[in-house]
Each structure stands twice: as C-alpha cells, then as structure tokens.
Structure 1
C-alpha cells in the first residue's frame, strides 16, 4: 500500500541501506555557527595584535608591508642627490622634488656630525672600501633611525666614479637591541679581562666605572668604590697626588703618563698610568679615564738585571785588571810585571796594589817592571813608577825598571825625578840577569808582616 504523508523519510539506498535526506535549515545553522567561531577567533587575534603593537590594527599598512623594498638613492661624487625613490620618500619623509640637487648631509645625516667627517666618509665610499655600513640617520621630522647602507659605485669607461647607488634598509629595533646587548657584553668582557686597571671618574672625581682588576687590586666590591672619590679610598698623600694628576690632565686636555705607587692588598706596588679626558660628541668634558698597569714585577726584574749586569761588568773589570797588570814569578824571590799600553791614574793604582800584594805573597826580594810595551811615559806615569818603587822598598824589595827606550830615557832625564829607588835597565833580559845575580849574592827575602 502507498505510504501516508507522515511516513518515515528514510529511503532505501542502492545497496539496500537507508540515508538521511538533506536538511537545508540545519546546514545553514551549522555554517552560521562556524562563521561565528571564526569571527570570535579573529577578534581575539586582533586584540592580541593591538596589545602587542600598541596601536589599532586598522592603521597597519598591509600593502606597504607586503610590497616594502629598500629605499634607493643616487648621489654624485660631490655628495649631491641625483635620484630619490618612493621608498626613500616613505623612509625619510622627504619628497623627491625637495631633495634633488641638495647635499646628502643636509637630508639624512644628523646635525651633530661634523661636515669634515661626512666628506671623509664620502671619499672612503668612492674608493670602494665602504660597500656596506650601518649608520645613524635622521628623518625630515628630526627622528633618529638606524639604517643599513649598501653602496654600489658607477664608473665611466676610464674607471672614474660618476655616481653612487645606495640601498638603504631600516634596522629593526629588535636587531638594534640585540646588537647593543652584544656590544655591551663584549665591552664588559674586554674591561674585566684586561690585566690593567681601567676606570672612569666624573668631573667631580667620583668613580663611575671600574673593571674587575681594579677591584682585585684593592680587595673591594663595586658598591664600595662606585660614587666615591680618591679621598675616601686612599691615604691623604696618595689621594692628593692622584687628584693633582687628574686636574693636570683635565686642564691640559691631553693624555698624561706617569708612574705612581699605590697601596694594594699586596702592599705598595708600582704602577704606570695613562690618564686622558673623556668628552661627549659636543666636546663637553664628561670626566677622566685612567688605564693603570702594575709594573712592580717588571721593575724588580729590571733592577735584578741591572745588578747582574753590574756584577758581570765588575767580573770583566777584574779580569781586565789581571790582564793589564800580570804578575809572574820568575824564580824564587823574583817577580816580573810586563806592562803594555797606556797607564793612567786608575791603572797606576792597580799596578801598585797588585805588585805589593805579590811581593808579600811570594816573599819576593826583587820585582821587575818591564815597560817595553809602554809607548808614552809622561810625568804622571813616571811619578807612578817612582811611587811603586818607594812602596816596594818599604817592604824590603828592590824594583828594577826595564825596557827603557832612548825616548823614555830622555823623558825621565828631562823630568829631573829622584830615581835612586829604581834600578833602570834597557831590556827585560838584562833585568832578569841582574835579579839572578842579586839572588846569588844572597839577597834576603821579604818576610810576611805579622
């Protein structure tokens, strides 16, 4: 029988199973619910965006964001702008017609930068040595921005630059912060790993920066040093000396180098110090920086080296003295001292001391001074030889002077010296023969004084 109007809507499928007929109203309600959920999620994301960026999302220029490109400008070797892209207009706020023909430094360089510095940068860029650089620039409204410049030089057929194409990209704040943190970390590590003491004081003499070496030497902490002056940290005499040098460096406006003695945990130490004024870009003096190196060990080593050198020199002097005044026993009771070279006051004294000591040591009765190798005999030399003879006579020894040349004999005669304490002979051989004859005749040896 035919089914009634309120019969079951399920109909058999081809394979014999039943399936639901489509319900348009139910599908619409499901789509509305899904769109509502998506709309709620988008609103939540919008709120997150506004909270993060601090501005309504509808102010964000999506088109500019998606199509953003580096700003491009061209400028002549003289620094005059010859092209200015729309991206440059957006980045710096200047219209193209406002900047063409004007100097680069009037548009993008901060006012505080010296013109000489700008021109030097242009010259370096034209040599190709500044292909990429980071620079602080200024916008039309005076805002400072950090930019990355990439420079390409256009040259003519002779290789002469005729234009520079600069692509300029804004450095994001996150990157700037990361760079700044890296620079600060590197600077702190550099200061604290330095073997030298490094510090900065303000114009009132208060320590505003110190490194770890400073703390180690004084055995103090940052809290005990920062904000204090030398008068609060050192004895009055040391503090006054430090302050005088600070004043001299600040007054002169130039570096000052000097050595000083500072009390440390290891006692008084010697330091070599360099101090120089610290200035702001405007030229205003902010304070004074000091770099101090402990040279105590080096000075001690230098003193030891000098002492050793003096010992070596003294040993060499003794060796030369022995060579310059050689004393040789000929036979029992007879000594010979051949002299060579010039005889001055110092050497005359050495001859005297060596000969007298040898006479006593060898119990000698005869000493032969051979001056064959002495070319010049003047009043000083003659008096020295007479003095040696007289001193030897007091010890009971006779002095024979041999090797007298005709010229020396004339000099001695002209000086009218009393030579009765000397026996003069012309050769060393004759002197030795004379001494042997004295020994055979029974000359008495000299006894050691008691």
Structure 2
C-alpha cells in the first residue's frame, strides 16, 4: 500500500467520523428544538420570533390557534401582514420597530380580533441578535389579559353605577373604616364638606363622624351589639338624623361603617312651628274657655252676675277674681251675684277663692250674693270651716237676680252668712 493510499483511507475514516458527529449533533439540535417547541406549545401565552421584515421564523401552538391555523408550520415563513387587519398589523409592527430602534425590551398592551370580539394582550417584545450582536429578529411573548380587562371594565361600570345611585340620593352616604378614614362618599356628603367625592376619599374624621371620641364610642357600641347605631348631628344650622350600619369583612369581625345621614332640618322646623301653633291654639282655647267658664252678665246698671261651672283650678280662680273685680270697677256695680250651681266639688281652695272674692268686692263697695249652694256643697263649706260671713246666700240664681234687680230686701227673705 502506497503512502497516498494510506492517506486517502485515513482521510476517508476521519471524514466518516465527522459526518457521523455532524449527524449526531444535528439530531441533538433537532431533539432540543422538538423539546423546546413542545415546551412553548404548551404555554398559553403567544410566543413568536420574526425578522425585521415581519416574517415569522418561530411560533408556538397558541400563536397558531390565535391566527386561525392548526399547525405552527402554517405560520413559519409567512408575513404577519397575512394574518391581521391593516390597523392591527400596523399597531403591532410599530412596537416591533420601537424595539429595533431602542435595542431593548418593551412592555406594551396590544389587541387583536377573535371570534368573540377584541382580545387584549400584555406583550413583552425584545430584540434577538446574531453572533455578531446585530439585531436580526424581534421576539415576543403576549399574555392574554382579556378576562382581567373585561372584569376590570365590569367592575368600573359597576362602581360607576353604584356611585351614580349614591349620588342620586340627597342623603349623606359615607363608607369609612374603623379609624374614620373615608373609603367612599356620595355627592351629597362631599358637597356638605365642600369638595368632590374623589377628594373626600382618604380624608379622616369628617362630618358626621368628625369627633374621634364619638367615632370610638360608636365603633365600640356597634361591635358590642352588632346592630346599627343612631345619633343626631348638626352642621351649618342643619340637623341630621344619622344611622351607622356595621359592615363586616366576610364572616369576620367589624371592618367598616356605612354612614347614612338624613337632613331633617325642615321637618324639625315644621314640627317646631306646629308645636308653636298648637301652643297658641291651646292658649287661645284656654282663654276662650276661661271667658266662657267665667262670664260676666250685666243685670242692671248697678248689678252683675257671674255663673261658675265645672272645676275651679288656680288659673281659673285668678281669672274669676279678676273678672269680678273688673266688672265691679268698670260698671260701677254695687251687687255681684255669684252662682255656684255648676260647681261640682268644693275644697279648701275653692272656699278660699270665694271668700277672697267677696272680701275684694267689699273693698270696692260691692255686695256679693252667693246662689245655688247645694246641701252637699254647704256641708263641705261647713266642714272646711269656710267663713262666708257678710255674704248673702240665696237658693237659686233666679232668687239672686231678683234680689239684685229689685234691691236688697225686696226679694224673698235671704239666708245670711252660711259659715262654720
């Protein structure tokens, strides 16, 4: 064997070994690619790599499904423009250009159409460089956040509806924590504080819980009883009836207070006005009853009659004496006929009133004639020791009137001085 032949054989063996090694390495790479592809195919996020001309070089199964394809092979080698409407493609492409220009990763929210509407994605896009450090590709990982965005939108809509309902109320509505910090306020409560509902949130110790001691006492009462608490509060000459409702954290302990305050200023003012009018009516009725219950009846130019009916209290007794003396003075009466037929009971007070009236009339030069004293009343006067000396007593009002009209002694014989 010649030297050249030996060299050829040796090179052939080495070449075969190299081919085998290359084949082994290629298989290793393919296995690694299959493993990597299998891994990324099971990731729900959209994963892709595209060149600077927007042609896909790698994608995962989630990305293929998003684009309406069954296999990744239907995406690789195709331009993104083939899969998206122009406005969507332009938006995504703009972010790709930004990554290439900045040479660093960015986070952006992107959207794309699906069968059930627009879906939203939180995308991380980053540059992919070759061995020389030159940016050749743009990689991306897009996580579907549609459910979160829709939930956030529903929550914001629900909050907006709730706030609108709260603001529609003219009553003060507040949600506060146990330290007195406002969580939510409606327009009425905010207006009472001179700011907006957003400005009230976070404020501490606001009306009607602007007194820390009251708040602490209220929290303790509600925590102890587990029931709403009620109290009154005033601000700017306005009165409010306030109810604090317990708000628990799930099945846990008391966490917050829902404050409901109703402006009752007009109702209270109306009630006060009504009480004032009632008092005026009652006073007018009392005066009218006094006038009716103690009438002054002229008999002649020199005689008057005062019939008494019903019970005689202290106020009515004073009115009786005043009426009698005024009649004597104004009319120049010399005779006053006091009829007690309608007086049901006579006690010490009534007896003293009658005696005091007779003495006062005598001082003015008038004679008092007492009529209608029934046996029970006469016995009561005797038992009470009432001194009616100097008072003419007659059986009936008719006798008294006759006595007054005809003059003393011209009526049937009077009975004098019923006394003890």
Shorter chain as normaliser: what TM range? 0.5 to 0.7
**Distance 1:242-1:395 versus aligned 2 partners, 3 A rule:** farther
Q: d(CA) in 1 for partners of 2:69 and 2:328?
A: 115
Per-residue CA deviations over 1:26-67 (Å, capped at 9, x if unaligned) read: xxxxxxxxxxxxxxxxxx9x99xx99xx9323489999xxxx
**Distance 1:275-1:382 versus aligned 2 partners, 3 A rule:** same
1:212 paired residue among 187, 197, 210: 187
Q: d(CA) in 1 for partners of 2:398 and 2:302?
A: 17
**What are the within-5 Å matches in structure 2 for residues 148-297 of structure 1?**
180-222=155-197, 224-230=199-205, 238-262=211-235, 267-297=236-266
Q: CA deviation at 1:177?
A: 6.2
In structure 1, what is the equivalent of residue 306 of structure 2? 337
Structure whose alpha-carbon radius of gyration is higher: 2
Q: d(CA) in 2 for partners of 1:179 and 1:235?
A: 32
Is 1:309 aligned to 2:278, yes or no? Answer: yes
Q: CA deviation at 1:317?
A: 1.0
Q: CA deviation at 1:349?
A: 2.6
Q: CA deviation at 1:220?
A: 2.0
Q: Secondary structure of 2:237's match? A: strand
Q: d(CA) in 2 for partners of 1:315 and 1:410?
A: 36
Q: d(CA) in 2 for partners of 1:311 and 1:352?
A: 24
Q: d(CA) in 1 for partners of 2:385 and 2:228?
A: 68
Q: d(CA) in 1 for partners of 2:198 and 2:163?
A: 17
Q: d(CA) in 1 for partners of 2:390 and 2:193?
A: 73
**Distance 1:238-1:300 versus aligned 2 partners, 3 A rule:** farther
Q: Secondary structure of 1:326's match? A: coil
Contact 1:386 1:421 in 2 (8 A): no
Q: d(CA) in 2 for partners of 1:221 and 1:409?
A: 81
Per-residue CA deviations over 1:231-254 (Å, capped at 9, x if unaligned) read: xx5799845334432443345432
Contact 2:299 2:405 in 1 (8 A): no
Q: Which runs of 5+ in 2 are unaligned?
A: 1-52, 71-146, 411-420
**Distance 1:304-1:196 versus aligned 2 partners, 3 A rule:** same
TM-score by length of 1: 0.55
Q: Which runs of 5+ in 1 are unaligned?
A: 1-43, 64-171, 442-450
Q: How many matched pairs?
A: 280
In structure 1, what is the equivalent of residue 397 of structure 2? 428
Q: CA deviation at 1:174?
A: 8.3
**Distance 1:313-1:62 versus aligned 2 partners, 3 A rule:** farther
Per-residue CA deviations over 1:375-395 (Å, capped at 9, x if unaligned) read: 433433222211111121122
Farther-moved stretch of structure 1 (430-439 vs 381-390): 430-439
Q: CA deviation at 1:173?
A: 7.8
Q: Secondary structure of 1:277's match? A: strand
**Distance 1:208-1:181 versus aligned 2 partners, 3 A rule:** closer
2:365 paired residue among 379, 388, 396: 396
Contact 2:180 2:209 in 1 (8 A): no
TM-score by length of 2: 0.58
Contact 1:321 1:350 in 2 (8 A): yes
Q: d(CA) in 2 for partners of 1:257 and 1:175?
A: 40
Q: CA deviation at 1:210?
A: 0.9
Q: d(CA) in 2 for partners of 1:261 and 1:60?
A: 65
Q: Secondary structure of 1:56's match? A: helix
**Distance 1:346-1:189 versus aligned 2 partners, 3 A rule:** same
Q: CA deviation at 1:228?
A: 2.2
**Distance 1:365-1:430 versus aligned 2 partners, 3 A rule:** same
Q: CA deviation at 1:190?
A: 0.6
Q: CA deviation at 1:357?
A: 2.2
Q: d(CA) in 2 for partners of 1:272 and 1:286?
A: 23
Q: CA deviation at 1:211?
A: 0.9
